[in-house]
């Protein structure tokens, strides 16, 4: 039995007639940029994110970059980022001319360790940028306390956490701002690139609206140096269809995660993802930890189970960051995770038999090792 890591065609096929109808609606409208579909999606997604203002942008990296610009962060400023994340979190900070300052993560949540944040704060620190990695909420109450004690802004990287909750509150509604991605493989995925900035105030939302559109709110009046990064009208039409299905998609991911947890519980050699008290993760990824990660991945591949590694190299070890201050920092837990994490197949394309197959092959791997 083949088990695909992800099968976007199978997932999107379930919405085929509604997606095609939405695309036809766009075609017929004759209005292709910042039209009704973007407006409707911004209203619906903002509402979904705790009743905040949402502004559609070109992708998740731009969402984070424009959020930092709207917060007034730039050259000479420092932003605290997790040592273990997708590199886009860091690139947004670098893109505005600020310095990413890595802080290590917790072994079990793989998210920013609040105990380590204060020692990284300097007079130049302007913001904390926590990531809800793998769809598991970061420890936002602790992070917000530290931010308010030091007068720092908080920008959530919620690119993997559409609909995740902590103590009943949805991710993206904790900080001053949040960046979302609608890259096809995310929990809420378009059929191309897309992103959104979710904002705690009208003033911040208006600033992002300006920045994404040449620094202009009224045509040919340019108040600041903006860029062109608008959520595409066609992608917004598709996202309007898929937002309705997000809770059901997330629910299926939770069932799969529970089935993995139950099936793999007896394996002492395997680290399973923990769920913090009060957290309702959305399982963008189901990530296990193994000291024999590479051998386990090869064994699964040989048995037609596809897995991926998120992420094999920490941003501070990437060639792109060599020679920067961040490259010299110490984030031992992040490095340990990079060497041991393995993402199992996850998504609504999987049926229970496929999940059970993954569990069985992992058991086989460890039985053969101990035999």
Ligand X SMILES: *Cc1c(COP(=O)(O)O)cnc(C)c1O
Q: How far is the CB of 88 from ligand X (least distance, A)?
A: 3
- Least Å distance, CB 179 to ligand X, is 7
What's the first-to-final CA gap in the chain, in angstroms? 25
| Neighbouring C-beta atoms of residue 360, cutoff 10 Å | 14
Q: Which is nearer to ligand X, 286 or 299 (CB)?
A: 286
What is the Cβ-side half-sphere exposure of residue 153, based on CA atoms within 13 angstroms?
22
Binding ligand X by CB under 6 A: which of 86, 90, 311, 321?
A: 86
Rule CB under 6 A: which of 41-80 touch ligand X?
59-61
Determine, following the binding rule CB under 6 A, whether residue 282 of this chain makes contact with ligand X: no
Residue 143 contacts ligand X per CB under 6 A: no
* In contact, 133 and 160? CB cutoff 8 Å: yes
Q: Residue 85 Cβ, how far from ligand X at the closest point, in Å?
A: 6
**Nearer residue to ligand X within complex by CB, 91 or 261:** 91
Whichever of 60 and 271 has its CB closer to ligand X, that residue is: 60
Q: How many CB atoms lie within 10 A of CB 136?
A: 28
Q: Please enumerate in sequence order all residues whose Cβ is within 8 A of that of 315, keeping only pairs 6 or more positions apart, or say none.
A: 81, 83, 85, 87, 89, 90, 100, 102, 321, 326
Applying CB under 6 A, which of residues 175, 195, 281, 345 lies at the interface with ligand X? Answer: 195
Distance CA 65, CA 94 (A): 9
Identify the residue whose tokens are 């690119």.
159
Is the Cβ of residue 87 or residue 279 nearer to ligand X in the bound state? 87
Looking at the Cβ atoms of 3 and 61, the one nearer to ligand X is 61
Residues 146-165 that bind ligand X (CB under 6 A): 157, 159-160
For residue 344, the cross-strand partners are 286
**Residue 149 C-beta: closest distance to ligand X, Å:** 26
Tokens of 229: 């990064």
Question: For residue 345, what are its two tokens?
Answer: 């197949």
Judged by the rule CB under 6 A, the positions of this chain that interact with ligand X are 59-61, 85-86, 88-89, 131, 157, 159-160, 181, 183, 193, 195
């Amino acid at each position: 039995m083949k088990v695909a890591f992800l099968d976007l065609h199978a997932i999107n096929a379930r919405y085929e007639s509604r997606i095609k109808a939405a695309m036809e609606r766009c075609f017929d409208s004759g209005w292709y940029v910042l039209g009704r579909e973007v407006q409707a999606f911004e209203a619906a997604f903002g509402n979904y994110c705790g009743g905040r203002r949402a502004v559609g942008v070109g992708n998740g990296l731009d969402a984070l970059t424009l959020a930092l610009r709207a917060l007034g962060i730039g050259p000479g400023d420092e932003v605290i980022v997790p040592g273990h994340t997708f590199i886009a979190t860091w690139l947004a900070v670098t893109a505005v001319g600020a310095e990413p300052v890595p802080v290590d993560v917790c072994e079990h949540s793989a998210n920013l360790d609040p105990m380590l944040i204060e020692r990284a704060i300097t007079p130049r620190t302007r913001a904390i940028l926590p990531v809800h990695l793998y769809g598991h909420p970061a420890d936002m109450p602790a992070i917000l306390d530290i931010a308010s004690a030091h007068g720092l802004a908080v920008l959530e990287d919620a690119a993997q956490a559409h609909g995740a909750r902590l103590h009943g509150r949805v991710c993206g509604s904790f900080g001053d701002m949040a960046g979302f991605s609608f890259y096809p493989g995310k929990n809420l995925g378009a059929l191309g690139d897309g992103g959104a900035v979710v904002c705690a105030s009208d003033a911040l939302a208006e600033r992002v609206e300006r920045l994404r559109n040449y620094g202009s709110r009224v045509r040919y009046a340019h108040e600041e140096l903006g860029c062109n990064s608008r959520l595409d009208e066609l992608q917004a039409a598709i996202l309007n269809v898929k937002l309705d299905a997000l809770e059901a998609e997330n629910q299926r991911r939770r069932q799969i995660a529970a089935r993995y947890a139950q099936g793999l519980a007896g394996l002492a050699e395997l680290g399973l993802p923990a769920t913090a008290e009060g957290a309702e993760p959305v399982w963008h990824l189901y990530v296990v930890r193994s000291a024999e990660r590479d051998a386990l991945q090869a064994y699964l591949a040989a048995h037609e189970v596809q897995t991926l590694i998120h992420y094999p190299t920490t941003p501070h070890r990437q060639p792109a960051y060599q020679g920067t201050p961040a490259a010299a920092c110490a984030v031992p837990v992040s490095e340990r995770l990079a060497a041991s994490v393995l993402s199992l197949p996850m998504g609504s394309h999987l049926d229970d038999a496929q999940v059970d197959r993954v569990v069985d092959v992992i058991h086989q791997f460890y039985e053969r090792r101990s035999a």
